[in-house]
Amino acid sequence: MDGAAIVEFLAASIRIATPLLFGALGGLLSERAGTFAVGIEGMMLAGAFGGAVTMLLTADTGTGLAVSAGSGAAAGLVVAVATAKFRADHMVTGLALNILVVGLTSFLLRGLFGGQAPVIQLPTLKALPIPYLADLPGIGRVLFHQPALTYAALALTLAIWVLLAKTRTGLMLRAVGENPEAAFTAGSNPVRVRMAAIVAGGALAGLGGAVLSLQEVGTFTDGMTNGRGFIALAAIIVGRWMPFPTLLGCLLFGGVAALELRVQGWDLPVSSYIIQMTPYLAALAVLAGIGRGARLPAAIGTAFTRN
């Protein structure tokens, strides 16, 4: 790869990492408050669907993004009620949500448009070069020549870090994830905090879905998230449940995916199907490499009851 190709590769890595980052930050909120975020995949898919259908009907980007966040939050609410209120198993509830959303989006896509899935072709959100900075050699092209939602994802990482590390709300959220009994004694309501964290996380994951449907491809197809929610989960583990390391985890997996796309053009003696396995195998290898000892929130996966 020459210089220009490397710049293109890095820029693509960041772009591909964007939906992962939204999903991972959403999952981070949920997990730091003590709920496993296996449902991220479904929340992203809900957001991708809500955004694409709204854009098809209104052609207004703002509304599209709002609806995608709302769809993700609604999906999150299902998990929130089931796990926090009804103390359902976190992992399997997340999976159930994923199936539910796959079915619901596929059904509505046809049902709302008279039985046939409509052809959705939306203009994708274009790159938004930042004046002056975008002209910097190399780095300008990599960092400052990205679509709007990519900047938003990077800003969001900072915001989540501030929220978790520097605010009272963040402290309460972390306390609920580490020791809900103590947080309850200190006057917070762990059930409500967990529900809020899951729903907020769902909204972020929904935006991640919108990145896919509105910024990357400009359409919606059944099950289009294709495991990205699970890769985002892996990124959270790689990032040790901290925002900026999670960003690095997403960039790592974004880089693998960007490389995958390029390798397919190199005419290697390996088939494209083997190459398509790399994101999943890379996630598995990285997780296995990290091994045990990852710093899980202490009370994750447990139910909170008042007595």
Partner 1 sequence: MSEDRSPRVNEVDASDGGAMATATRHALEALAAADWLRAVVLASAAVALALGLTAVLIAISGKDPVVAYAALVRGAIGSLDRIAFALNKSTPYILGGVGVALCFRARVINIGAEGQIAVGGIAATWVALNIAASLGVIVIPAAIVAAALGGAGWAAFAAAIRLTRGVHEVLCTLLLNFVGLLLVSEALHGSMGEPGAGFPQSPLFMRAAWLPNLVTGTDLHIGILIAVLAVVACHLLLWRTTFGFRLRVLGASPAAAAYAGVSFPRCAFAVMALAGGLAGIAGGIEVLGVHYRLIEGFSLGFGFNAVAVALLASINPIAVLPAGLFLGFLEAGALAMQREVGVPSSLVFVIQGLMMVFVLCAIGIGIRQQRV
**Part in contact with partner 1 (CB under 8 A); list of ranges 52-60, 120-128, 196-204, 282-290:** 282-290
Q: Which of residues 233-262 bind partner 1 (CB under 8 A)?
A: 233-234, 237
82 or 163: CB nearest partner 1 = 82
**Amino acid letter, residue 258:** A
Q: Which of residues 93-122 bind partner 1 (CB under 8 A)?
A: 93, 95-104, 106-108, 110-112, 114-115
The reply on whether position 269 binds partner 1 by CB under 8 A is no
The reply on whether position 82 binds partner 1 by CB under 8 A is yes
CA distance 265 to 258: 12
Smallest CA-to-CA distance from 71 within 51, 44, 94, 47 is with 47
Query: CB of 194 within 8 A of CB of 176?
Result: yes
**Other C-beta atoms lying within 10 Å of the C-beta of residue 167:** 11
3 or 114: CB nearest partner 1 = 114
Which member of 8, 89, 178, 260 binds partner 1 (CB under 8 A)?
A: 89
**Other C-beta atoms lying within 10 Å of the C-beta of residue 164:** 19
CA distance 228 to 41: 7
95 or 148: CB nearest partner 1 = 95
CA distance 149 to 46: 17
Q: Which of residues 33-62 bind partner 1 (CB under 8 A)?
A: 36, 38
**Part in contact with partner 1 (CB under 8 A); list of ranges 23-31, 85-93, 188-196, 247-255:** 85-93
45 or 175: CB nearest partner 1 = 45
Q: How far is the CB of 183 from partner 1 (least distance, A)?
A: 19
**Part in contact with partner 1 (CB under 8 A); list of ranges 17-25, 88-96, 122-130, 166-174:** 88-96
DSSP state of 230: H
For residue 127, report the phi and psi dihedrals to the nearest 5 degrees: -60, 145
CA distance 294 to 240: 6
110 or 166: CB nearest partner 1 = 110
Sign of the C-alpha dihedral computed for residues 78, 81, 82 and 88 taken in this order:
positive
Long-range contacts of residues 110-113, Cβ cutoff 8 Å, at least 24 apart: 112/53
Binding site for partner 1 (CB under 8 A): 36, 38, 78, 82-83, 86-93, 95-104, 106-108, 110-112, 114-115, 222, 226-227, 230, 233-234, 237, 271, 273-274, 276-277, 280-281, 283-284, 287-289, 291-294, 296, 300-303
